[in-house]
Structure 1
Amino acid sequence: MSFDPVEFLEAAVQTPSHEDVTEMRDLLVETLESADADCGVEVDDAGNTVAVRDSGREGPHVVLNTHIDTVPPHVEFERVSGGGGADGGGDIVRGRGSCDAKGPLAALLAAFLGTAPEHGRVTLAVTPDEETNSTGAAALDFDPAPDAVVVGEPTELDVCNAAKGRFQATVTVRGANAHAAEPQSGVNAVRAAGDLLAALDDFGEREDTPDPSAQLGAPTLTPTTIEGGTATNQVPAECSFVVDRRSVPPETAEGFRSALAEHLRERAPAAVGVEVALAERDTPFLAAFETPEDDPVVRALREASGGAVRPFGAATEASYFAQVAPTVVFGPGSLADDEGAVAHSPREYVRLAEVERAGEAVEATLATLLC
């Protein structure tokens, strides 16, 4: 059975996966089994769909990875001829997940099913839960370990060999309640939190701050939510705010937490308590990664796609794979265009020509690496 990535994409976008991925995973498994009964497709205990095409000869192991979950709410499927996007060119598919990441999935499927490796093996590993806690990716354990990994995400056919990590922490500020008519008798946690929010501005000036990366630049620190107080006529005893950290190598989540706690403690009055806690997760945070531009998988995919080599704009599960093998992020679609957000937005779309070209580029890369 021949595989048509556009036909699969249209079916996939019309298959909801923003609340439960079961129906979408069933479509994926049925597609793989119909196209290649010998690829040994399995669904593991973490819900990952894994299939293998093995040459039976020694050689490299290349992993193709992307995800099937999408963010709510569902956006209706639509195929538009000769339109879409900022420049209005080419047929597109609209719908939730078309760009992130069912377009990349269709491309990787085409490459996987179109490859008959001469040496080594290619593994397709498609995860659930990428948009939340990455439980699928964290559970993947390849044997043998991969020699290269291609992660499908919307990159406009550029080869993304680096990405910042993402850590999240909550800063809790504690004072003492008092009547608002006698504010001097209490310790105002909301007022103290305001000073500590301002202190975030010079966190990057600490001596232990990671040097800017040549590819990724400097890390960023952004407050995102805040809450505090329980009554309008009371000095608040507690206030908390959440910060988003986009990291660069070699910063770790715990290293960031410890440094921020020390920095804020130094800025807080003695009567104010300050605690910094990382968000609770059952899986590791997504750390920053960088793959050298001269690595074989980067070179092969750049030559096959014609795309630029650059960092990816968001944190990604590529972080997990980059700890064991050279890893790149690649695929059709864009996170945003000249009109605004594309991925995770009501106008999400992907160009069909890009989906087909992405599949061809990954297939050519596999041919180079597994010849």
Structure 2
Amino acid sequence: MIFDVLEFHERAVRTESHESVEEMRGLLVETLEGAGADPVVDDAGNTLATRTGDGYEPGDEAESGSDAGTHLVLNTHIDTVPPHVPFAEREGGAVVEGRGACDAKGPLAALVDAFLSAGVGEGNRLTLAITPDEETVQTGAAHLAGTLDADGFVVGEPTGLDVCNAARGQYEGTITLTGAAAHAATPESGANAIRAVAPLLQAMESYDEREARSASDGASGDDEEPRARGPDAHESLGRPTLTPTVIDGGEASNQVPEECVITFDRRPVPPETPEEFEAGLETHLSEWVPSGIDLDVALSPRETPFLAAFATAPDEPLVEALAAASGGEVRPFGAATEASYFAEHAPTVVFGPGDLADDEGAVAHSEREYVRREEVRAAARAVRDAVDALL
């Protein structure tokens, strides 16, 4: 069967995968089998297929040195966010609309096309690794990370054909303030947890600025001006962010509240780790807590590791090859992705057709999600050409 990238893309967008990926995974497996590949679905629900060049033998990857050849992995996901948006066309068929059009069935179609058509030289390998739950808990990617023994990863997401070599991570957590309940007629007899929120919110705003001042003072003495950017600022990603997103406290209008919880979102940049952030935030906030209030900072429980920030050097061969093939800009990606897991092990880039947002607003995850068909074709050509250059 000859693979048609646009026909597959249309079938994929028409296939609902916001509640279950079973039907979409079946389409992918059927397509790969029809094209002569031999896909397998692992215990975590990942769909995997590998092409090898002449001279490669199973077990070569375990040998020391570079004789085992080069192994590249093409990765994206088949799940989508709710609700399903039906397939539609506009501009005479030049544009495809619908859920997953760009996130990430456009990138999926491009990567499948490149996987099936790229050349694989002697001793080298090319793997297609498609995960089932990127939009939720990322168990598929967590299962794959560190087991594929790859020399590079191309992760499919809507980048407008730019080559994204870095991305912020994403953590979530809570700040729990605990005081003492009392009658509202005698507030002085208790410890009001809600009153403690105001200084804590101010402290959250100053967290990264404080880190900048501390690093500056320690490095150059108190007589110099603080640096404009803290030690966690990244040359392309900039500063991390810490955003309070939910406040929950109090049980009755006539009772001094004993507890209040602030939920936060953290978007880190390299080299920050979740453990370092959790400890650093609690230390910082403890200096702002009013007397009589206890403080607890905790990252939210997860089945899989948090998505850490990553950055691949712009002069890595993978980055240069894909940028040359696509003509796109090398820049950071605008959202956290499963690329985080793979970047711990090998150079990783995020690439694909479509955009997270355009001049009118959100595209991915919105009711107006769309992608241009020519971008899907262009993405497939670019990945194929980059793989040809590297393998």
Verify same fold: TM over 0.5. Answer: yes
Deviation digits for residues 280-303 of structure 1, max 9, x if unmatched? 012111111111111100010000
Deviation at 1:143, TM superposition (A): 5.9
In structure 2, relative to structure 1, the CA distance for the partners of 1:266 and 1:29 (3 Å cut) is: same
Residue equivalent to 1:195: 199
Amino acid at match of 1:132: T
Residue equivalent to 1:272: 293
Paired residues of 1:210 and 1:251 also in contact (CA < 8 A): no
Structure 1 segments (4+ residues) deviating >4 Å: 141-144
Residue equivalent to 1:133: 137
Deviation at 1:116, TM superposition (A): 3.2
Deviation digits for residues 70-96 of structure 1, max 9, x if unmatched? 1111111102134xxxxxxx8111111
Deviation digits for residues 182-237 of structure 1, max 9, x if unmatched? 11111111111222112111101223663311111011111111111111111111
Amino acid at match of 1:335: L
Whole-Å separation in 1 of the counterparts to 2:127 and 2:373: 24
Whole-Å separation in 2 of the counterparts to 1:112 and 1:78: 27
Q: How does 1:130-209 map to 2 (within 5 A)?
A: 130-140=134-144, 145-204=149-208, 205-206=210-211, 207=214
Paired residues of 2:146 and 2:342 also in contact (CA < 8 A): no
TM-score normalised over the length of structure 2: 0.90
In structure 2, relative to structure 1, the CA distance for the partners of 1:285 and 1:141 (3 Å cut) is: closer
Deviation digits for residues 253-294 of structure 1, max 9, x if unmatched? 011011111111110023101101111012111111111111
Residue equivalent to 2:328: 307
Whole-Å separation in 2 of the counterparts to 1:286 and 1:55: 33
Name whichever of 177-186 and 15-24 sits farther off: 177-186
Name whichever of 334-343 and 231-240 sits farther off: 231-240
Whole-Å separation in 1 of the counterparts to 2:49 and 2:234: 36
Whole-Å separation in 2 of the counterparts to 1:171 and 1:195: 13
Residue equivalent to 2:22: 22
User: Unmatched 5+ residue regions in structure 1?
Assistant: 83-89
Whole-Å separation in 1 of the counterparts to 2:187 and 2:147: 64
Whole-Å separation in 2 of the counterparts to 1:356 and 1:282: 36
In structure 2, relative to structure 1, the CA distance for the partners of 1:60 and 1:163 (3 Å cut) is: same
Secondary structure of 2:282 counterpart: helix
Paired residues of 1:166 and 1:285 also in contact (CA < 8 A): yes
2:88 to 78, 83, 96: 78
Secondary structure of 1:72 counterpart: coil
Paired residues of 2:173 and 2:300 also in contact (CA < 8 A): yes
In structure 2, relative to structure 1, the CA distance for the partners of 1:274 and 1:115 (3 Å cut) is: same
User: What root-mean-square deviation, in Å, do the aligned CA atoms of Structure 1 and Structure 2 show?
Assistant: 1.3
Deviation at 1:145, TM superposition (A): 1.0
Paired residues of 2:179 and 2:192 also in contact (CA < 8 A): yes
Residue equivalent to 1:234: 255
In structure 2, relative to structure 1, the CA distance for the partners of 1:273 and 1:107 (3 Å cut) is: same
Does residue 97 (structure 1) correspond to residue 100 (structure 2)? The answer is yes
Deviation at 1:142, TM superposition (A): 6.4
Residue equivalent to 2:61: none
Paired residues of 2:145 and 2:342 also in contact (CA < 8 A): no
Whole-Å separation in 2 of the counterparts to 1:146 and 1:93: 33
TM-score normalised over the length of structure 1: 0.95
Secondary structure of 1:189 counterpart: coil
1:124 to 108, 124, 128: 128
In structure 2, relative to structure 1, the CA distance for the partners of 1:180 and 1:143 (3 Å cut) is: closer
Deviation at 1:44, TM superposition (A): 0.2
Deviation digits for residues 49-103 of structure 1, max 9, x if unmatched? 0001111335210000000111111111102134xxxxxxx81111111111011
Paired residues of 1:210 and 1:250 also in contact (CA < 8 A): no
Equivalenced residue count is 361
Deviation at 1:106, TM superposition (A): 0.5
Whole-Å separation in 1 of the counterparts to 2:335 and 2:258: 36
Does residue 56 (structure 1) correspond to residue 54 (structure 2)? The answer is yes
Residue equivalent to 1:292: 313
Paired residues of 1:210 and 1:248 also in contact (CA < 8 A): no
Does residue 220 (structure 1) correspond to residue 279 (structure 2)? The answer is no
In structure 2, relative to structure 1, the CA distance for the partners of 1:309 and 1:262 (3 Å cut) is: same
1:247 to 268, 281, 285: 268
Amino acid at match of 1:334: D
In structure 2, relative to structure 1, the CA distance for the partners of 1:157 and 1:235 (3 Å cut) is: same
Paired residues of 1:160 and 1:311 also in contact (CA < 8 A): yes
Does residue 283 (structure 1) correspond to residue 304 (structure 2)? The answer is yes
Secondary structure of 1:28 counterpart: helix
Paired residues of 2:281 and 2:297 also in contact (CA < 8 A): yes
User: Unmatched 5+ residue regions in structure 2?
Assistant: 56-67, 216-229
Whole-Å separation in 2 of the counterparts to 1:283 and 1:276: 19
Deviation at 1:181, TM superposition (A): 1.6
Deviation at 1:141, TM superposition (A): 5.2
Paired residues of 1:210 and 1:249 also in contact (CA < 8 A): no
In structure 2, relative to structure 1, the CA distance for the partners of 1:211 and 1:126 (3 Å cut) is: same
